[in-house]
């Protein structure tokens, strides 16, 4: 990890930046994903081990520090902020951060403030999220079978998640469902998930499992290429490619029979690096420049250094983004090398 030089201190980031953030390959950085905690109330088998050791709470950035860093990126042209985890809604007083960041929606500096959640806490927070300007969220749900849901998540309760989805929709928040395609586990349910989502006016995005972190099993046993999934779906549905984008890596199709949209996130069979506009900030202030590489910079050191000011923080962001690689090189399979990405998905939030 790279350490960046620090300078004079100011309590907040100014409303003006020094131009857009551009990486070494000419890609503008307009999307920041922020993992507000590495903790989660589920233990999904493809994401983490059942007996996880999480970061000591004292290592985490305060909510005020997260606000300052996010605001620094907004000042430099980031238009979308996504709060992730772990599970973001288990972070204590998380609504304070959502309310604080919503001021950038009110000024027009930010186009969207959203989050990815497992849905377990949504029934509790949905209305307040809507009041803070959250208009769209992603909910991760891999099966509609209660017993299988318990098996995949280890600790999850499907009924509670479905209740949360209903609460979000009732609050006026558009919900998109995310499902990781898992060979031998939910591959026979993907048609049902699609119909379930589209019948309720929700998009569905399918995701290939990613080789990140040790999880206690061989991911090759669960890896299901989405080109195979699409071929199977096309036996039953008419899929038409769309130019529609949400700012993330999903490529969408229109499903004629349901009238809904279906997304595919394919980090292995067809990577999305050429159009990458994203960087990822962890709850400890580490900025990862690529989900599938280890390039990173320590912004917490800059943030907390005596005399750090807005200009120095902005310069640190530029220095960090200069490390952004052209793309990732995820590999999976019996003969693939052991993953070089030791961190779990919950560290960077996907």
The domains found in the chain, sorted by start residue, are 2-348 (3.20.20.70)
- Is there a contact between 35 and 86 (Cβ–Cβ < 8 Å)? yes
Instruction: Please name the residues in contact with 290: beta carbons below 8 A apart, sequence gap of 6 or more.
Output: 273, 276, 324, 325, 327, 328
Which residues fall in the annotated binding site for [4Fe-4S] cluster? 40, 44, 47, 273, 276, 290
Asked if residue 103 has pLDDT above 80, the reply is yes
Rg (CA), the chain: 20
Task: Among 64-73, 126-135, 337-346, name the one with the lowest average pLDDT.
Answer: 337-346
Give the containing element (helix H, strand E) for 195.
helix 190-199
Question: What is the per-residue pLDDT for 3?
Answer: 43
Quick: pLDDT tens for 206-261.
Answer: 998 866 445 455 556 778 999 999 999 999 999 999 999 887 788 999 999 999 99
| Span 165-220, pLDDT tens digits | 999 999 999 999 999 999 999 999 999 999 999 999 999 999 988 664 454 555 56
pTM, two decimal places: 0.84
Q: Are 171 and 143 in contact (CB under 8 A)?
A: no
Binding-site residue positions for GTP: 33, 82, 116, 176, 278-280
List, as residue ranges, the binding site: 33, 40, 44, 46-47, 82, 86, 116, 140, 176, 210, 273, 276, 278-280, 290
* Residue 269 structure tokens: 């069979």
CA dist 95 and 101 (Å) reads 10
Spell out the residues 6+ positions from residue 187 whose beta carbon is closer than 8 angstroms to its own. Answer: 181, 224, 229
- Feature table: binding site for S-adenosyl-L-methionine: 46, 86, 140, 210
Pair of tokens at residue 237:
């549905």
Residue 74 has which token pair? Answer: 């907004």
Q: What is the pLDDT of residue 214?
A: 53
pLDDT tens by residue, 120-167: 999 999 999 999 999 999 999 999 999 999 999 999 999 999 999 999
């Amino acid at each position: 990890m790279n350490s960046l030089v620090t300078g004079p201190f100011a309590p907040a980031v100014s409303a003006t930046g020094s131009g857009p953030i551009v990486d070494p390959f000419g890609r503008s950085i307009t999307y920041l994903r922020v993992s507000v905690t590495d903790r989660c109330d589920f233990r999904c088998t493809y994401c983490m081990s059942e007996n996880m050791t999480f970061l000591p709470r004292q290592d985490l950035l305060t909510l005020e520090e997260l606000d300052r860093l996010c605001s620094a990126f907004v000042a430099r042209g980031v238009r979308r902020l996504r709060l992730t985890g772990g599970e973001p809604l288990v972070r204590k007083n998380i609504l304070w951060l959502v309310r604080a960041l919503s001021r950038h929606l009110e000024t027009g500096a930010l186009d969207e403030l959203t989050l990815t959640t497992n849905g377990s806490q949504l029934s509790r927070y949905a209305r307040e999220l809507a009041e803070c300007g959250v208009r769209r969220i992603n909910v991760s749900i891999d099966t509609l079978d209660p017993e299988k849901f318990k098996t995949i998540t280890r600790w999850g309760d499907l009924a509670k998640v479905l209740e949360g989805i209903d609460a979000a929709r009732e609050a006026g928040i558009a919900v998109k469902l995310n499902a990781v395609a898992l060979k031998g586990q939910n591959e026979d349910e993907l048609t049902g998930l699609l119909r379930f989502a589209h019948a309720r006016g929700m998009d569905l995005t399918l995701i290939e499992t990613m080789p990140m972190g040790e999880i206690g099993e061989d991911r090759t046993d669960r890896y299901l290429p989405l080109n195979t999934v699409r071929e199977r779906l096309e036996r039953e549905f008419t899929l038409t490619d769309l130019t529609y984008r949400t700012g993330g890596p999903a490529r969408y199709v229109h499903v004629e029979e349901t009238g809904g949209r279906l997304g595919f996130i394919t980090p292995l069979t067809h990577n999305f690096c050429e159009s990458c506009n994203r960087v990822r900030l962890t709850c400890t202030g580490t900025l990862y420049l690529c989900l599938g590489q280890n390039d990173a910079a320590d912004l917490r050191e800059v943030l907390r250094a005596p005399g750090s000011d807005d200009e120095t923080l902005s310069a640190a962001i530029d220095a960090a983004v200069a490390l952004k690689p052209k793309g990732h090189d995820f590999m999976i399979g019996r003969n693939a090398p052991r993953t070089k990405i030791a961190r779990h998905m919950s560290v960077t939030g996907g």
